[in-house]
Structure 1
Amino acid sequence: MSMEGTLLQTMGIVVTEASADRVVATMPVKGNTQPYGLLHGGASCVLAESLGSIGSALHAATYGKVAVGVDINATHHRAVRDGVVTGVATPIYLGRTTTSYEVVITDDRDKRVCTARITCQLIQSPRS
């Protein structure tokens, strides 16, 4: 699957590990900030939703389905001004019709920046 032209490419997100059991990616803070120069909370949500969706899609494929996000929530714990953040998504629940992932985002010092939860619905591919 090509990431060219996607939001992941635009935001500089690089996936380094991907399975239904664990998805890991990095994202630069630079270019993903709000006007005060801090990591934008929406950027953290994009990272979290991307990772949870990738894991969900890999799980959904075992049932011949695709994953679509239906809920995300995030708690922002600390500000980040520079460097790279790392997101790690691990499953909370992997079912036949829904999945839920916890995504922990940390900074370069391994301090927790954000904790998010994403739920996806598993559906038949609209292209089928």
Structure 2
Amino acid sequence: MDTKELLKAFNARNKNTLMETLDIEYVAIGDDFLTAKMPVSPKVHQPYGQLHGGATAALAETVGSAASNFFIDSKEHFINGIQLSINHIKSKREGVVFATAKNIHKGKTTHLWEVKIVDEEDNLISIAKMTNIILAKR
């Protein structure tokens, strides 16, 4: 499957999920990374009009979990996120943020991802580490 087809398939799975609610869309994929974007609007603001840290964490976990799916046989296994650590560096009121998950460790039972979240001017907004566990389907 080519890159455009993969992105289309991943985006189709977002229907009726938190990803659809937050308008998260996968936009780029490579051998060791996955990138998604999320618009910053009042829909994802906290009461002071800034991007909510929880929305940012949801974006980071979405991209980190989805990225692991490229390294497993999804007919035999599935992914569960087991740990997310995120630091918020800069606030954002409007525009778009992009989250890119890059693989740090690809083991047989766990994957570790670094997820950088930047804005459209490449300013670092947040940075996260996410650990996924690979489980056998029953």
TM-score of the superposed pair, with normalisation by structure 2: 0.86
Task: Please state if 1:44 is matched with 2:56.
Answer: yes
Pick from 9, 13, 29: which aligns with 2:40? 29
Task: Please state if 1:117 is matched with 2:117.
Answer: no
Unaligned stretches of 5+ in structure 1?
none
The answer to whether the 8 Å contact 1:60/1:96 transfers is no
Unaligned stretches of 5+ in structure 2?
1-8
Q: Which residues of 2 match residues 27-106 of structure 1 at below 5 A?
A: 27-30=38-41, 31-61=43-73, 64-106=76-118
The offset of 1:58, in angstroms, is 1.8
The answer to whether the 8 Å contact 1:63/1:96 transfers is no
Q: Which residues of 2 match residues 10-21 of structure 1 at below 5 A?
A: 10-18=21-29, 21=32
Partner SS, residue 72 of structure 2: helix
| The structure with more helix, counted as a fraction of residues | 2
Paired residue type of 1:94? K
Q: For the aligned residues, what is the CA RMSD?
A: 1.6
Runs of 4+ in 1 over 4 A off after TM superposition: none
Task: Please state if 1:108 is matched with 2:120.
Answer: yes
* Whole-Å separation in 2 of the counterparts to 1:111 and 1:17: 18
Q: Aligned residues, how many? A: 126
1:7 aligned residue: 18
Paired residue type of 1:90? K
The answer to whether the 8 Å contact 1:90/1:103 transfers is yes
* Whole-Å separation in 2 of the counterparts to 1:64 and 1:21: 21
Partner SS, residue 34 of structure 2: strand
Paired residue type of 2:48? Y
* Whole-Å separation in 2 of the counterparts to 1:18 and 1:62: 18
